[in-house]
A and B are shown apart, each in its own frame.
Chain A
Amino acid sequence: MIKYIGNRLAQILILLVIYVAVVFFLLHSMPGGIEAVLATNPNLTPAARESILKAFGLTQPLPVQFVLYLKNIFTFNLGISYSFYPTPVWTIIARRLPRTILLFTTATLIAFFVGFASGKSLAWKRGKTSEYVSTVVGVIAYTVFTPLLIFTLIWFFGSYLGIFPLNQFLNPDLWIRTNLNAQTIFLYLLLTISLIGLAMLASFAIAQKVSHRVKTRKIIFYISTAIAIALAVFWWAVSPVGIYGFDILWHMILPVMAVTIISYAGTMLVMRDSMLETIKEDFITTARAKGLPDKVVRDKHAARTAMLPVITNFVLSMGFVVSGGVITETLFSWPGMGMTLLDSVLAKDYPLASGALIFTGIFVLFAHLVIDIVYAFLDPRIRY
């Protein structure tokens, strides 16, 4: 296993170099570019333009620029953003990456569990009206034009009902009265949510070790999860910054809802198909013949086995999370990686654009690695 992870890390490194090369040359082959932007500025003398280009190292030939860029990446130096001059790209990404990660991991996890559970019961209720309705709704959600869905959500919840904020990351009217740093509060939020996630994982593992009975396991898991959530809620409620954390969460609800609706259907439809395949297997008949209750046959035997292709689909959808993120974040004015990517490409801000692409690339590559490792635990037939 350790050898396998080592191999995979080496692979990731090679892939990353190739990926950086593609990103770098692709961005530089776009027409226009910073030189053109500077050339069309009438306030610049040719001498000043020349010195600016020289300062950014743009006078050197492209291959030399690439080698320098590649060298700099390994020292965590991604250059300086043109549009946010003189902020280093690294600083901008460090501020914005967590926002995207929180938004999309939350939405993707919710979508996965909702899709998994509904796909499971859909297959079990094959042929009933509720199955047809849910399948049609799922296909609509899967194929809907993303901006249309988002505008509908914003109109309905933000404008018509007026219960959620229209867009943005926080409410400036609230934050103007305090000198708290939104980023710090946000990082605390992220930390809290990660801790809850860790507590859930740990209690799941402990429950597996402690008892062989499904009921006891479930009780342990639910109680410890409830305790972890209650503790977190209590801490935020008591703390004076609780209201600010709540404000950020409040702004997150609509974007999370949008991404969840877009991505749950994929999981649901794959799970439904996979379940229908699995139900025909002989070991399901065996499980029924053993006199196991219907729910146990469905959850423990059918769903557990049918889950494997769904996980594969889930990994593949990680890539779409990035592309979908551009639209979602821009429409919600959510200052994350997707919005950064779009803005920087439009502004010909190459260092920021390639930095954003490289980080999403790293994210996807590591997500694949994590899922591959998880797969080994889920399917005993797979050994590395």
Chain B
Amino acid sequence: MKPILEVKNLKMYYNTRSGYVKAADDVSFVLNEGEAMGLVGESGCGKTTTSMAIMRLLAENAEIISGHIYFKGKDLLKLSEEEMNKVRWAGISMIFQAAMNSLNPVYRVGDQIIEAIVTHEPNVTFEEARERVASLYKLVGLDPKRMDNYPHEYSGGMKQRAVIAMSLSCNPDIIIADEPTTALDVIVQDMILKEMSRIQKKLNMSMIYISHDIAVIAEVAEKIGIMYAGKLVELSDSVTIFKKPAHPYTVGLMSSFPSIKGEKKELVTIPGEPPNLLNAPDSCRFAPRCPFATKECWEKEPPYEEIEPNHFLACFHPQNLRKQVSEYARG
């Protein structure tokens, strides 16, 4: 498997009047060709920031302090804006958090997809682009006739499908799906996710799913990264993450979602809330909420290391915690 995207020690801070907000701190991961990866974490833990940094669509006060993002061997952080524009959509495309609002209300949906195609492939005529949009519509399960409608004439699920069709329009190598189904009801959510997974396998693309719902990610991703307070705390294939999670936060995340099949058990919440990332301390950021925190955790930052092949972790106490956590919650 060849790596297609390599994020190395990415540090992205927001420069605010009261100091730096460490939104993404030392994030590293590798995405291989044809692989689907998930990024999971609570709101405000840096998932979206990381994906926006990959696309280089950051707010004006965002500063990339250090790190590299290699896409097909090129460091995206060193490209000029024009070169970056060529990578956007044709190389890496995105499905945004609020798909509902990511279509411009005054243009026809089809035209907005065609716009992306003709921008990146100037040789494609308008008619050819239209045909491609029609076939994309069929692929995502939309009626091609609807491409001449305006966004307000679509239902929520249809808009979501149209946005997916748009993300596929320039045959990108990677699609970043940022909470692609959060705004939809559970049934449509499931349908759309399965559809996306099917298309991804069919076209052999790489995919990054971002969600706060580890159960959703588990369905579609082969590899899962857990983010907490701007840091990647655990990264491994989804089987390992589920069978033997090593970070207390991962365990907490999994215990806070019900499972339909397995044994009946009490849902466990993680006490407390994520820390303020403004001038975040150089200790383990999960320590205040962690039942197993020791003196060491409060003093030093745990290194992000490979504890076994393809299993990365940033914790001083790697162990099988699942049982301990649930016991702790009961007692």
Contact = CB atoms under 8 A, between A and B. Distances in A.
Interface of A: 127, 212-213, 281-283, 285-294, 296, 301, 304-305, 378-381
A381 B101 contact: no
Interface stretch (B91-99, B192-200, B231-239, B273-281): B91-99
Contacts of B57: 285, 288-289
Contact of B102 (A127, A283, A378): A283
B106 A304 contact: yes
Nearest to A127: B60
Interface stretch (B18-26, B38-46, B69-77, B81-89): B81-89
13 contacts: A127-B60, A285-B57, A286-B103, A289-B88, A290-B119, A291-B84, A291-B116, A292-B115, A301-B104, A304-B104, A305-B106, A379-B106, A380-B105
Given A282-B98, A286-B96, A291 B85 contact: yes
B106 A291 contact: no
A282 B96 contact: yes
Contacts of B152: 380-381
B177 interface: no
Given A282-B102, A381-B105, A212 B126 contact: yes
Given A290-B166, A379-B106, 9 more contacts: A212-B114, A282-B96, A282-B98, A286-B96, A289-B93, A291-B84, A293-B85, A301-B104, A305-B106
A281 B119 CA distance: 21
Nearest to A296: B119
Contact of A291 (B88, B102, B114, B166): B88
B89 A283 contact: no
Best-surrounded residue of A285, A301, A304 (most CB of chain B within 10 A): A285
Interface in B103-134: 103-106, 114-116, 118-120, 126
A282 B151 CA distance: 13
B106 A380 contact: yes
Contacts of B87: 291
A148 B57 CA distance: 47
A378 B96 CA distance: 26
B16 to A, nearest CB: 15
B120 A283 contact: no
Interface in B31-68: 55, 57, 60
B101 A283 contact: yes
Contacts of A127: 60
A293 B106 CA distance: 19
Contacts of B86: 291
B113 to A, nearest CB: 9
B90 interface: yes
Contacts of A285: 57, 96, 102
A380 B150 contact: yes
Given A285-B102, A301-B104, A291 B81 contact: no
Best-surrounded residue of B86, B104, B114, B152 (most CB of chain A within 10 A): B104
B150 A381 contact: yes
Contacts of B98: 282
Contacts of B150: 380-381
- Going nearest first, the 8 A-B pairs with the smallest beta carbon separation are A291-B88, A282-B101, A291-B85, A286-B102, A212-B126, A283-B104, A380-B150, A290-B116
Contact of A290 (B60, B84, B89, B105): B89
Nearest to A378: B106
A311 to B, nearest CB: 12
Given A286-B102, A380-B150, A291 B96 contact: no
Contacts of A281: 101
